[in-house]
Chains A and B, each alone.
Chain A
Amino acid sequence: MLIEVADVSKAYPQQQAGPAPAIENISFSIATGEFVCILGPSGCGKSTLLNLIAGFIQPDRGRIAFAGQPVRTPGPERGVVFQEATLFPWLNIRQNIELGLKAAAIPRTRHQQIVADSLAQVDLDCSGEAYPHQLSGGMKQRVALARVLALKPRLLLMDEPFSALDAETREHLQDQLLQICANQQQTVLFVTHSVEEAAYLADRVIIMGQPPASLYSEVSIPRDQPRSRTAKELSRTILRLRTTLKELARVVPEQKRN
């Protein structure tokens, strides 16, 4: 198993009204080459889970292991694409991608080739000399993906990366992501609140309920048929996911009343 999450809990001190994103006793694992989606309503703690695996925060209880080693700090073997592209505004596209290469002490002579390759992977053939604020939202997100892919991460963590984009751009990026995964057996953990997105992308969906999300359930999606947005199988999967989400949402308020 590439990632193993065992009995992990994390709570934040309550700051605003509404449910605090907290998770309780969550366990799951991800095998190499799998595409796993975490699906749940906003505030259910799915981003918290991703931040824990990325190493940005530490769990209150439980263990997270990456390739057998406990996760303590963020690192390039677990590349993250955030909801906002978080490209460094003071670096142009090429420099944004090269920064990780420099940190990994990859020889300068290879930078140009790697930058070109990773931009080609996300199907972006624009000048690397443009600055992030000159790009559209979709292009920024492509560069953010290219920046991570350049480091050949063993695990790709994506935190609602396409949710701020318009529908058309989002669908193109979803297709491109699937193609990248198919080409190089990329393992992905993808957080989303969109049932359609999870059904279209994932091999397996982990569905989280309202916080504290000690309740969660897993749905596997057989992937032998070709992926298509119009296939009957897709609408069937969407229906299954919706039903599970509703069940989880129903259970928790009753518990809270007691």
Chain B
Amino acid sequence: MSTAGDKTSSRLLLQVPTLQRSKPGSRYSYRNLLFSCAALGLVVLSWETVALLVTGLRGVPFPTPLETLLKLFAMLAGKPFLDHSIYSHIGTSLGRWIGGFLLGGSSGALLGMACGRWNALERLFMPAIHVLQLIPGLAWIPVAILIFGLGNGATLFMIAVTALAPVAINVAGGVKRVDEMYIRAAQMLGLNNRMLFLNVLLPGALPHILSGLRIGLGNSWRVLVAAEMIVGSGTGLGYAIIQSRWTLDYAGAFVCIAVICAIGLIVERVLFIPLEKRTVELWGLKRES
């Protein structure tokens, strides 16, 4: 029997639903910790087994986890490795990586956005970008050397070119997949093209943009290490690893490999997971994976 303006019962509908944010229970996080430790233990155990087997059967000194750890501490304490401290190797590699990625990632993102929005551009650029993605990072070595010669330019080029394709493809896909209804709603509200881009297409495509950046960063990190092995110029983690062939300092090489893994993990934990928490998860857009 409700008539217009039936206020009392209308109030009942207005209880703000409790915000659904799962607090990690202590038992839950305890189990998580246990699993993380077990996973790490598994890696160390297999490494130790392989090291003992190789040393025993082939008679070559395969560094064990403990030796590598000790070497890591020594290097962190400032012991130079191939004329440079570990910090200098890390710093050079990170610098090249960030520089190359900024170059390739940003041009990939811009290209992807434009291609996602305008069909003509997509048909013009996307075939080339898809082909680009099929080229393994290392195949760029001759091209890089031909254009830039040996040195930093070639490394930067290889990083940029491997980061570009996955970023562009994911961003374009993300922009295209923004629900047409959001675009209609934005136009109805009077948004111009610039506002539509910044307020609707960009945040709407963010889940895809983030996965594109993830893949791009991973690709370029891997190609960086490889590029340093061949066209690098005397410093960098990749250079340090490949030089251990001549110096026979395998423990040092293993330290560099571990550092490379650690940097990858740190980027994921420090950059992507918090970024996702603050955006995609907050908006309820997290994709079921």
Q: Is the CB of B9 within 8 A of A227?
A: no
Q: Is the CB of A175 within 8 A of B4?
A: yes
Point out which of B5, B185, B206 has the most chain A C-beta atoms below 10 A from its C-beta.
B185
Q: Beyond A123-B14, A172-B2, A230-B1, is A90–B189 a contact (Cβ under 8 Å)?
A: no
Q: Could you tell me the distance between the alpha carbons of A47 and B78 in the complex, rounded to whole angstroms? A: 72
CB contacts (< 8 Å) of A176 on chain B: these are 10
Q: Is the CB of B14 within 8 A of A169?
A: no
Q: Beyond A76-B189, A90-B285, A131-B282, is A179–B13 a contact (Cβ under 8 Å)?
A: no
Interface-facing stretch out of B33-41, B69-77, B195-203: B195-203
Of chain B, the residue at the smallest CB distance from A181 is B4
Q: Could you tell me the distance between the alpha carbons of A171 and B186 in the complex, rounded to whole angstroms? A: 28
Judged by a CB distance under 8 angstroms, whether B16 is at the interface is yes
Point out which of A86, A90, A127 has the most chain B C-beta atoms below 10 A from its C-beta.
A90
Name the distance in Å between B57's Cβ and chain A's nearest Cβ. 58
Q: Is the CB of A134 within 8 A of B195?
A: no
Judged by a CB distance under 8 angstroms, whether A73 is at the interface is yes
Q: Beyond A84-B181, A88-B199, is A151–B284 a contact (Cβ under 8 Å)?
A: no
**A200-247 with Cβ < 8 A to chain B:** 226-230
- Choice from B3, B187, B204 contacting A74 with Cβ under 8 Å: B187
Q: Could you tell me the distance between the alpha carbons of A102 and B198 in the complex, rounded to whole angstroms? A: 13
Q: Beyond A84-B181, A176-B10, A230-B1, is A90–B190 a contact (Cβ under 8 Å)?
A: no
Q: Is the CB of B187 within 8 A of A99?
A: no
Q: Is the CB of B181 within 8 A of A89?
A: no
Q: Is the CB of A179 within 8 A of B190?
A: no
Q: Is the CB of A54 within 8 A of B1?
A: no
Name the distance in Å between A201's Cβ and chain B's nearest Cβ. 10
Q: Is the CB of B190 within 8 A of A76?
A: yes
Judged by a CB distance under 8 angstroms, whether B184 is at the interface is yes
Q: Is the CB of B189 within 8 A of A86?
A: no
Judged by a CB distance under 8 angstroms, whether A17 is at the interface is no
Judged by a CB distance under 8 angstroms, whether A94 is at the interface is no
**A153-201 with Cβ < 8 A to chain B:** 168-169, 171-172, 175-176, 178-179, 182
Judged by a CB distance under 8 angstroms, whether B191 is at the interface is yes
Judged by a CB distance under 8 angstroms, whether B28 is at the interface is no
Q: Beyond A126-B14, A132-B284, is A229–B2 a contact (Cβ under 8 Å)?
A: yes
**B173-232 with Cβ < 8 A to chain A:** 179, 181-182, 184-192, 195, 199-200, 203-204, 206
Q: Beyond A134-B20, A175-B2, A179-B5, is A82–B181 a contact (Cβ under 8 Å)?
A: yes
Of chain B, the residue at the smallest CB distance from A123 is B10
Q: Is the CB of B184 within 8 A of A56?
A: yes
Q: Could you tell me the distance between the alpha carbons of A175 and B9 in the complex, rounded to whole angstroms? A: 12
Number of B interface residues at 8 Å Cβ cutoff, please give it. Answer: 38
Q: Could you tell me the distance between the alpha carbons of A79 and B187 in the complex, rounded to whole angstroms? A: 10
Q: Could you tell me the distance between the alpha carbons of A133 and B286 in the complex, rounded to whole angstroms? A: 11
- Choice from A74, A104, A168, A178 contacting B188 with Cβ under 8 Å: A74
Number of A interface residues at 8 Å Cβ cutoff, please give it. Answer: 52
Name the distance in Å between A76's Cβ and chain B's nearest Cβ. 4
Judged by a CB distance under 8 angstroms, whether B127 is at the interface is no
Interface string of B1-23 (1 = CB under 8 A from A): 11111110110011011011000
- Choice from B3, B6, B19, B182 contacting A88 with Cβ under 8 Å: B182
Q: Is the CB of B17 within 8 A of A135?
A: yes
- Choice from A102, A103, A134, A179 contacting B19 with Cβ under 8 Å: A134
Q: Is the CB of A90 within 8 A of B2?
A: no
Q: Could you tell me the distance between the alpha carbons of A179 and B184 in the complex, rounded to whole angstroms? A: 27
Q: Could you tell me the distance between the alpha carbons of A148 and B185 in the complex, rounded to whole angstroms? A: 10
**A40-87 with Cβ < 8 A to chain B:** 54, 56, 73-76, 78-80, 82, 84, 86
CB contacts (< 8 Å) of B191 on chain A: these are 99-100, 103
CB contacts (< 8 Å) of A226 on chain B: these are 3
Q: Is the CB of B5 within 8 A of A228?
A: no
Q: Is the CB of B185 within 8 A of A89?
A: no
CB contacts (< 8 Å) of B4 on chain A: these are 175, 178-179, 182, 227
Judged by a CB distance under 8 angstroms, whether A147 is at the interface is yes
Name the distance in Å between B4's Cβ and chain A's nearest Cβ. 4
Of chain B, the residue at the smallest CB distance from A105 is B190
CB contacts (< 8 Å) of A125 on chain B: these are 14
Name the distance in Å between A60's Cβ and chain B's nearest Cβ. 20
Judged by a CB distance under 8 angstroms, whether B283 is at the interface is yes
Name the distance in Å between B200's Cβ and chain A's nearest Cβ. 7
Judged by a CB distance under 8 angstroms, whether A136 is at the interface is yes
CB contacts (< 8 Å) of A168 on chain B: these are 13
Name the distance in Å between A10's Cβ and chain B's nearest Cβ. 16
Point out which of B19, B182, B186, B188 has the most chain A C-beta atoms below 10 A from its C-beta.
B188
Extra contacts, 11 of them, besides A151-B189, A172-B6 (Cβ < 8 A), are A74-B187, A76-B189, A76-B190, A80-B184, A86-B181, A99-B199, A132-B284, A134-B17, A172-B13, A227-B3, A227-B4
